[in-house]
Amino acid sequence: MIEPIYALLLTPLLAVAILAAVSNYRVGAAINMVASGLSCCAGVALLFVERVRGDLLIIDDFNIYLVILTTFVGFTTSIFSASYIGHELETGRLTPVFLRFYHALYQTMMGAMTLALVANNVGLLWVGLELATLSTVVMVGLYRTPAAVEAAWKYFILGSVGIALAFFGTILVYLVAQDVLGQGLAAMRWDALVREAAKFDPQLLSLAFVFLLVGYGTKVGLAPFHAWLPDAHSEGPTPISAVLSGLLLNVGLYALLRFKMVLAANPAALDVGKIMIGLGLISVVFAALMLYRRRDIKRLFAYSSIEHMGIITFAFGIGGPLANFAGLLHMTMHSLTKSAIFFVVGHIAQVKGTQRLDDIRGLSTTHPTLAVGLAIGVFAIAGMPPSGVFMSEFLLISSSFPHAPLLTAILVIGVLLAFGALVLRLQGVLFGTPSGERGAVRATYIPLFIHLAIVIIAGLWLPEPVIKWFRIVAAQLG
């Protein structure tokens, strides 16, 4: 019996090799699904084996659920994309050749992200993230329309600058660590870093964190490093948008949080909380206002992703067990909900033949099921009960208001603004005289409604182990 963690890493690798070879897209999609399913199983299997804590790899309370989440969403997304790409082929937006690319890259990205998550080594983490970014860059440019190329280009430049800065930050961290931990891999191990953080040079550590913040912040899509995000979401294939919003942002945030743990363990270092609060608030308010003028449905939800990343960053910036708990919960809920939204949006765009919000009307009369899915998704993401997002926002606001009334007030205003914009657009899409052809949908609702069901259940009841993990991690985050 092989260790699940290696299965976790090897499955995508094998899949890439195979997919690169397979030319038939149906087979490719099938393999894609199988591979993602296997990694998902591997991820779940992690629960039942004892925790790994090696030189390169680590499994602890923090990343275990993120791994499961990532592989799970990857799995559902692969199911969705299987039903999605068929339509794309018919409309001729994609050719089998590109699909070959697509599937191979999909697995690359999944593997890279998993790697970044389970890495116990700052360098390895960085490699994984970079790999994931580059593969998504190519996928964003997949349609080869001018807009797509431009989006990919933008994504690429900003992404690689971010990468470079993050790398510099990583080097600095190593520099700061090597004095204490000695040279070599030892100085890059998470557990070691956190353990010894108190002894580090605060100045250099803070400097490092600034670079890491800007670098990985670009991945997370915080304003003002967000520029790549909306275009990349709106121009790439929808499954990729789902994965970007649902997973990549999370992984970037994960990296940031790991480093925040290190700084939190060093009392003399710069108080990063304030910076994160600032960035978070900027992102929330900015994104909320940007929502009002959107005409492209996918771009709309891309901005909503920015807003939520802002909320999460704010939560971790506030700190404290409750706020951190809320942040973690919000991370999870957001990735589930947002990917679900992108599933349904993808189908809507296909049946209506457009992504322009103005051309999508009266969905509730033409495609009730899609309409219901969209409505649930949007209300869930807007923080209406019963959804996990509501629970996390409840925790966050109610816990942070007494301590930071003014900041929380700003946050609340931002949330309200975003809510207004989303509902406005939602009503525009759902109601009114139907537009476009009422063609039948060939959509798989399974992933969509599985996600929504999880979100709603989580809004009413959280399983005990999850609460335990969150509590522990929240405590570590300080």
Measured between alpha carbons, how far is 77 from 74 in angstroms, rounded to an integer? 5
Instruction: Establish if 474 lies at the interface with another protein (CB under 8 A).
Output: no
Asked whether 222 and 306 are in contact (CB, 8 A), the reply is yes
Name the H helices within 57-201: 61-91, 96-118, 122-140, 146-181, 190-196
Q: Is 20 in the site for another protein (CB under 8 A)?
A: no
Q: Which helix (H) or strand (E) holds 471?
A: helix 464-477
Q: Which of 12, 221, 230, 373 binds another protein (CB under 8 A)?
A: 230
404 binds another protein, rule: CB under 8 A = no
Place of tokens 């942002």: 249
Q: Smaller CB distance to another protein: residue 86 or 278?
A: 278
Residue of 4, 162, 246, 273 interacting with another protein (CB under 8 A): 162
Angle in degrees, 0-180, between the axes of helices 272-291 and 249-264, rounded to the nearest 10:
160
Q: Which two tokens stand for residue 104?
A: 């191979």
Which two three-digit tokens encode residue 395? 């925790």
Q: For the segment 181-210, give every residue that binds another protein (CB under 8 A).
A: 183-185, 188, 199-204, 206-207, 210
Residue 50 beta carbon to another protein: minimum distance, rounded to whole angstroms: 26
State in angstroms the smallest separation of the CB of 441 from another protein.
Answer: 18
Indicate the residue among 26 and 438 with the shorter CB distance to another protein: 438
What is the Cα–Cα distance from 332 to 344, expressed in whole angstroms?
Answer: 19
Give the one residue of 15, 73, 213, 374 binding another protein; rule: CB under 8 A: 213
Which one-letter DSSP state was computed for residue 236? Answer: S
Q: Which of 30, 168, 354, 369: binder of another protein (CB under 8 A)?
A: 168
Q: What is the DSSP string of 387-427?
A: SHHHHHHHHHHHHHTTTSHHHHHHHHHHHHHHHHHHHHHHH
Q: Which one of 10, 20, 45, 149 is in contact with another protein (CB under 8 A)? A: 149
Could you say whether residue 14 binds another protein (CB under 8 A)? no
Instruction: State which residue, 42 or 229, has the beta carbon closest to another protein.
Output: 229
Residue 314 engages another protein in binding (rule: CB under 8 A): no
Interaction of residue 13 with another protein, rule CB under 8 A: no
Residue 53 or 144 with smaller CB distance to another protein: 144
Residues 445-464 contacting another protein, CB under 8 A:
459-462
Q: Does 146 bind another protein (CB under 8 A)?
A: yes
Q: Select 218 or 337, whichever has its Cβ closest to another protein.
A: 218
Q: How many residues bind another protein (CB under 8 A)?
A: 107
- Choose the stretch contacting another protein; rule: CB under 8 A; options: 16-24, 63-71, 126-134, 438-446: 126-134
Contact residue for another protein among 13, 410, 431, 454 (CB under 8 A)? 431
The answer to whether the CB of 475 falls within 8 A of the CB of 401 is no
Q: How far is the CB of 30 from another protein (least distance, A)?
A: 29
Q: Determine the 3-state secondary structure of 57 from DSSP.
A: strand
In the complex, the smallest distance separating the C-beta of residue 402 from another protein, rounded to whole angstroms, is 6
DSSP 8-state code for residue 119: B
User: Contacts with another protein in 339-378 (CB under 8 A)?
Assistant: 364
Distance in angstroms (rounded) separating the CA atoms of residues 310 and 292? 17
Sequence-ordered list of residues with C-beta below 8 angstroms from that of 433, at least 6 positions apart, any chain: 361, 362
End-to-end CA distance of the chain: 38
Nearer to another protein, 74 or 162 (CB): 162
Which residues are 121's β-sheet partners?
189
Q: Least distance (Å) from another protein to the CB of residue 351?
A: 19
Q: Which of 21, 49, 268, 453 binds another protein (CB under 8 A)?
A: 268
User: One-letter amino acid identity for 342?
Assistant: F
The alpha-carbon radius of gyration of the chain (Å, integer) is: 21
Interface segment toward another protein; rule CB under 8 A; list 139-147, 257-265, 340-348, 435-443? 139-147
Residue that has been written with the tokens 């860059």 in this structure = 137
Residue 65 near another protein by CB under 8 A: no
- CB of 111 closer than 8 Å to CB of 247: no
CB of 45 to another protein, least distance (A): 26
Q: Which stretch binds another protein (CB under 8 A): 45-53, 88-96, 244-252, 292-300?
A: 292-300
* Minimum gap (Å) between residue 27 Cβ and another protein: 27
CB under 8 A: which stretch of 142-150, 241-249, 333-341, 342-350 binds another protein?
Answer: 142-150
Q: Rank residues 64 and 119 by Cβ distance to another protein and give the closer one.
A: 119
Three-class DSSP category at 53: strand
State CA 165 to chain mean position distance: 20
Reported as half-sphere exposure (CB side, CA atoms, 13 A), residue 456 has a value of 13
286 binds another protein (CB under 8 A): yes
Contact 181, 175 (CB under 8 A): no
Which position among 27, 90, 191, 295 is part of the footprint of another protein (CB under 8 A)?
295
Residue 171 as a binder of another protein (CB under 8 A): the answer is yes
Q: Which is nearer to another protein, 22 or 375 (CB)?
A: 375
3-state secondary structure of 280: helix
Locate the DSSP E strands across 230-357.
none
